[in-house]
Amino acid sequence: MPRLALYPLIACVLAVVAAVISFVQGNWMGIVWVLLAGLASNVTWYYIKRDRAGKTAAAAGSGAGRAA
């Protein structure tokens, strides 16, 4: 997992914990934490997919160079 994906993953986990705590205390502010968790999750997936695409492109580029 790339380092850039690790930071939003940590933020996502913390936001979920904060949402649970807010809802348990009866505070509807937990909805904001749920939205933040969703955003952090999307950012995490973006960086993971970007890393995979970069590795695939690098492997395809190095393989094409050997065939020539």
Do residues 33 and 16 touch, judged by C-beta distance below 8 A? yes
Question: Residue 64 falls within a domain, yes or no?
Answer: no
Number of separate domains in the chain: 1
Radius of gyration of the chain (CA): 18
**68 part of a folded domain:** no
Q: Is 57 exposed, middle or buried (0-12, 13-18, 19+ CB in 10 A)?
A: exposed
This model's pTM is above 0.85: no
pLDDT at 43: 96
Q: Which domain covers residue 14, as residue numbers?
A: 3-55
23-59 residue pLDDT tens: 999 999 999 999 999 999 999 999 999 999 999 988 8
Distance CA 11, CA 44 (A): 10
Q: Answer whether residue 66 is part of any domain.
A: no
Higher-pLDDT residue of 39, 2: 39
Any domain includes 28:
yes
Query: Is 13 within a domain?
Result: yes
Quote the pLDDT of residue 59.
87
Q: Which helix (H) or strand (E) holds 67?
A: helix 30-67
- Reported as a single tens digit per residue, the pLDDT across 13-32 is 999 999 999 999 999 999 99
Q: Would residue 16 count as lying in a domain?
A: yes
